[in-house]
């Protein structure tokens, strides 16, 4: 089991907190954490990981999550590709759909059939990466996304490490099954109960894996948790 830590910026953070991310990341690596997570709330989720990448050597770096539908596959592919190269292969692209109101009203982006759209987004990103890595012509034509132009000037070219794994957040059965079928892993919701994980999440993960002929060992699960610490039961109860 791996244990990760949050490295992203808190709400109403200052420039000092942004400048200190490298130092904090280095300390977390020295403390033995397996990975650093950055969420998309009041700040960009990618910038903290770029800063952390230059001050660390071993620790994994993951967006948990970046809002996929606020961007298109090409934008996500470029950002993830550069972070993977910068970190020497330590980046994981964690994506989530958000909900319709945020996508249409906050980001002014289209919303329809989120599970199908997310599955196609994953496929499109990988097609773009394959074009950059091999030099083959980009010709992705889907229901939601079309990427058919990539000239040498706009291609970053190959990198010396494997493409980043793609994980997606999911709660409902459809999106969870997409995770098992198309993604490299699942980012669970922190409010998810053990019963929901057992009765809904995992059966749909396994169904998706079966759809794609994959094994559980091919798939990773990130489970955020809320922790209340204390030296005595009374302390813990007072904080819970």
What's the Cα-to-Cα distance from 201 to each of 62, 118, 187, 195, 198, rounded to whole Å? 21, 17, 11, 9, 6
**pLDDT attached to residue 137:** 98
How far is residue 68's CA from residue 144's CA, in Å, rounded to a whole number?
A: 13
The arithmetic mean of pLDDT across residues 82-111, rounded, is: 98
Q: What are phi and psi of 51, to 5 degrees?
A: -65, -40
Domain boundaries along the sequence of the chain: 4-239
Indicate the CATH number for domain 4-239: 3.20.20.30
Residue-wise pLDDT for 163-192, tens only, equals: 999 999 999 999 999 999 999 999 999 888
Report whether 222 contacts 64 (CB < 8 A): yes
Residue-wise pLDDT for 111-154, tens only, equals: 999 999 999 999 999 999 999 999 999 999 999 999 999 999 99
Report whether 122 contacts 166 (CB < 8 A): yes
How far is residue 146's CA from residue 180's CA, in Å, rounded to a whole number?
A: 24
How far is residue 233's CA from residue 57's CA, in Å, rounded to a whole number?
A: 38
Report whether 182 contacts 151 (CB < 8 A): no
Residue-wise pLDDT for 12-63, tens only, equals: 556 668 889 999 999 999 999 999 999 999 889 999 999 999 999 999 999 9
How far is residue 142's CA from residue 136's CA, in Å, rounded to a whole number?
A: 18
């Amino acid at each position: 089991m791996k244990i990760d830590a949050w490295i992203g910026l808190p709400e109403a953070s200052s420039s000092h907190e942004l400048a200190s991310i490298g130092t904090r990341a280095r300390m977390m690596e020295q403390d033995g954490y397996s990975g650093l997570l950055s969420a998309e709330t009041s700040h960009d989720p990618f910038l903290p990981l770029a800063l952390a990448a230059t001050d660390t050597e071993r620790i994994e770096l993951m967006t948990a999550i970046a809002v996929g539908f606020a961007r298109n596959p090409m934008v996500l592919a470029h950002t993830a590709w550069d972070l993977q190269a910068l970190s020497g292969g330590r980046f994981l692209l964690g994506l989530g759909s958000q909900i319709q109101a945020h996508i249409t009203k906050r980001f002014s982006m289209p919303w329809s059939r989120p599970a199908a759209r997310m599955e196609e987004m994953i496929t499109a990103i990988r097609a773009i990466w394959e074009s950059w890595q091999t030099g083959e012509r980009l010709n992705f034509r889907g229901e939601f996304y079309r990427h058919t132009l990539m000239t040498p000037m706009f291609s970053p070219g190959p990198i010396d490490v494997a493409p980043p794994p793609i994980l997606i957040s999911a709660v409902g059965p459809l999106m969870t099954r997409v995770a098992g079928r198309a993604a490299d892993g699942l980012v669970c919701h922190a409010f998810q109960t053990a019963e929901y994980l057992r009765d809904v999440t995992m059966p749909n993960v396994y169904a998706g894996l079966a759809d794609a002929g994959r094994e559980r060992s091919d798939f990773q699960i990130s489970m955020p948790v809320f922790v209340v610490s204390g030296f005595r039961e009374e302390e813990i109860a007072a904080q819970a």
